[in-house]
Amino acid sequence: MSVKFFIYIFVTILVIWAMDSLNINRFFKKNKVIQAQVFYVLLGLSMIYLITNFIFDLFTSYKIF
C-alpha cells in the first residue's frame, strides 16, 4: 500500500477527533438537521482531502518518501 493511504487514515482519525469538539448547531436554522449533517460530512471530507494532500506534497517536496 502507498504512503498516501496511511496518511489518509491518520488524517481521517485526526479530523473526526477534532470535529467532535465543534458545536455547529448554533450556526444552522432550526429543523434543518439533514442540511447540517450533509454540511458537516462535506466539511470533514474536504478537510481530510486538503490536509492529506498538504502533508503528502510537503513530504515529497523534501523527498522524505
Secondary structure (H, E, C), the chain: CCHHHHHHHHHHHHHHHHHCCCCHHHHCCCCCHHHHHHHHHHHHHHHHHHHHHHHHHHHHHCCCC
**pLDDT value of position 12:** 97
pLDDT averages per 10-residue partition of the chain, 65 residues: 91 95 84 90 97 94 77
The answer to whether 61 and 40 are in contact (CB under 8 A) is no
**pLDDT value of position 48:** 97
**pLDDT value of position 4:** 92
Q: In this structure, which amino acid lies at residue 12?
A: T
**pLDDT value of position 22:** 84
- Residue 32's φ and ψ, nearest 5 degrees, are -120, 50
Q: Which domain holds residue 13?
A: 3-61
Domains in the chain, number: 1
**pLDDT value of position 65:** 61
For residue 3, count other CB atoms closer than 10 A to its CB: 13
pTM score: 0.84
